[in-house]
Amino acid sequence: MNNDNKKNNQPVLSHLDSDGDITMVDVSGKTASTREAHAVGQVVFPADIYTQIKDADGMTKKGSITQTAHIAGIMAAKRTHDLIPLCHPLPLDKISLSFAYDDDQNSITVTAAVKVTHKTGVEMEALTAVSVACLTIYDMTKAISHDIVIDNIHLLKKTGGKSDYQHG
């Protein structure tokens, strides 16, 4: 079953079998194809803290917040199946992250792109990469302030598989 199937005109959740029991999605009958997902999130700082971080080019006593978050995001994407119970382990072909300072929002925007050639998509890997990268930035800067908000983590787009998706 997948989300495109409907039962009694309701979407069917892919991780539930016909009896309502938890199950890992069976992808054995699917064809491997190139699949890609992009996700985004923000770490929002108080204005004075944002200025301090940007003026220091993201360097703290712990090191570069974006370089550390970059590594953490890649590691997280590769280990998504260990963190989210019903995710398939995937041989990821590409993981990339980018970090952008946003002066209007006093934030750092984190974007991740993940690619695989497989029978299932990489949305969770992209979202996990962004989430852990944002958490790492929080960890690297919490000594300066705890008034930091991780916000608006979401899937931007996915391609491959049965259908493509584009946010908004």
Catalytic annotation on 21?
A: no
Q: Answer whether 111's CB lies under 8 Å from 38's CB.
A: yes
Q: Which of 26, 48, 82, 139 is catalytic?
A: 139
Q: Give the integer Cα–Cα distance in Å for 66 and 140.
A: 9
| Contact between residue 158 and residue 121 where contact means Cβ atoms under 8 Å apart | yes
Gyration radius (Cα) of the chain, Å: 18
In terms of Cα–Cα distance, which of 144, 149, 133 is closest to 62?
Answer: 144
Question: CB count, 10 Å around CB of 48?
Answer: 11
State how far the Cα of 124 lies from the Cα of 5, in Å rounded to an integer.
21
For the annotated catalytic residues, the residue numbers are: 139
